[in-house]
Amino acid sequence: MRLVPPRLLSMKRCRNVALPALLLVLVGCTTGDKVGVTASALHPGDEAIVLFPARGGGAELANDTRFVQCLSQKLSKSLPPQLPIYETKSFQDSLFPWFEPGHAPATTHELQILLSRPDVRARIDALHVRYLLSTAGTTEADGGFPGLLCGYNGCLGLLVGNEKSKLSIVALDMKGEEHNLKAEATGTTVVAGFIFPIPLAIAQSASDVCDDVSAQLRKFFVARTGGPHLGSTPAGRP
């Protein structure tokens, strides 16, 4: 039997090999289900919020379904019921093709031009959407210390890597006001190898950014609606 010598794995390859079961913790939220309401679930007087990724570079994090679900979940649980989160895919389908990933406005100026079209504005108004949140962000990982050797006989060594997540959001009120929010966070992943790779710490910079931005957005919306104070539980739908 020919033995295959172990190889020094890069940070990216080690993540693919050693951490497949832990990918879902990167944003620290339940995933898999759609988050948000559709037009049929809205009530008179509701002013819905919709998140969509901006087109072009810097939208890697914003296009991550897990991150969008994380942010939508946190907002839907903390905002007053008259500010429901509109389900992103349903919104994109209703406005097809203008808010699809390949066509969505890349800048605030492009968004304003798009909203100046009567047909687009009419469709959005019909969905009772008042706030558009254009998101853009990335998560970058450095080389760190890729000292984990893995081969057919197992793994040995230690891997340390750092990552940084950045996110920017343009919150546009359909009545004309605009607000810009930004957040960034760093994290460190540590994996020890002794036959099996053993994760000792998992970077969760995307989760931290989600927490930061959701808190900023909550303050933004509460200030404009006179809703509940931070930390209180929103009243249920009568």
Each residue's pLDDT tens digit, 33-45:
566 777 778 877 8
- CA angle at 186 for the pair 183 and 188, rounded to the nearest 5°: 160
- Residue 228 has phi, psi (to 5 degrees) of -65, 155
**Secondary structure string (H, E, C) spanning the chain:** CCCCCCEECCHHHHHHHHCHHHHHHHCCCCCCCCCCECHHHCCCCCCEEEEEECCCCCCCCCCCHHHHHHHHHHHHHHCCCCCCEECHHHHHHHCCCCCCCCCCCCCHHHHHHHHCCHHHHHHHHHCCEEEEEEEEEEEEECCCEEEEEEECCEEEEEEEEEEEEEEEEEEEECCCCEEEEEEEEEEEEEEEEEEEEEEEECCCHHHHHHHHHHHHHHHHHHHHHCCCCCCCCCCCCC
At residue 144, the pLDDT reads 67
CATH dotted code for 7-223: 3.40.50
For residue 212, what are the CA distances in angstroms to 52, 73, 89, 161? 18, 14, 24, 22
State how far Cα 104 lies from the chain centre: 16
At residue 59, the pLDDT reads 67
At residue 237, the pLDDT reads 47
With beta carbons less than 8 A apart as the criterion, state whether 15 and 148 touch.
no
At residue 18, the pLDDT reads 40
At residue 3, the pLDDT reads 32
Distance between CA atoms of residues 122 and 118, nearest Å? 6
Global pTM?
0.72
The contacts of residue 102 (CB under 8 Å, 6+ apart) are 55
Distance between CA atoms of residues 129 and 83, nearest Å? 9
At residue 227, the pLDDT reads 55
Distance between CA atoms of residues 56 and 79, nearest Å? 30
At residue 226, the pLDDT reads 66
Distance between CA atoms of residues 42 and 46, nearest Å? 6
At residue 113, the pLDDT reads 92
Flag residues of the chain having pLDDT under 50: 1-32, 228-238
